[in-house]
Amino acid sequence: MAKKIVTYPNKILIRKCAEIKEITPNIKALAKELIESLIKSQGLGLAAPQIGESKSIIAVWAEEGAQVFINPKIIKKSRKKEIGEEGCLSFPGLYLKIKRAQKVEVEALTLQGEKIKLITQDLAARVFQHEIDHLNGILFIDRVGFWQRMKIKRKLRRN
């Protein structure tokens, strides 16, 4: 079942997630919920804390459909950066221009426990950087300048 998306300023969003040590039936159930929630919310990516689980797993759209990645890590980043507009399901209606590496190499485990390495670029690289940030308790509003962040926080408090 799709879960309700946790929105800012819920504290779980700023907590660092726990690594997944073993792919148990519970983790498989969480993976399924994450995928269902991603599909329902029509996002490009979703991280477990956004459905209330502080665990290191994300779901991202790929050609074959929504896929999960366990304990994903960025192991290489291009020096080249790009500015692009991002949204976040935990900040409905907020879109920000964020500078990210144009290309990143990601290491992760599949749901079958297989270690994989992906080379992603452009929008896919942006989605992985955004979702992996979530696992470290970092939000896209943390990636803008101080004054812009203050302005956003003030606006969010008013809503």
- The residues that are catalytic are 131
Q: How far apart are the two ends of the chain, measured CA to CA in Å?
A: 29
Smallest distance from Co ion to CB 44, Å: 9
Which residue's CB atom is positioned nearest to Co ion? 88
Nearest residue (CB) to Co ion, 8 versus 23: 8
Which residues contribute to the site for Co ion (CB under 5 A)? 88
CB of 22 to Co ion, least distance (A): 26
CA distance 33 to 30: 5
Q: Where are the alpha helices (DSSP H) in the chain?
A: 25-41, 122-135, 146-158
Distance CA 82, CA 72 (A): 22
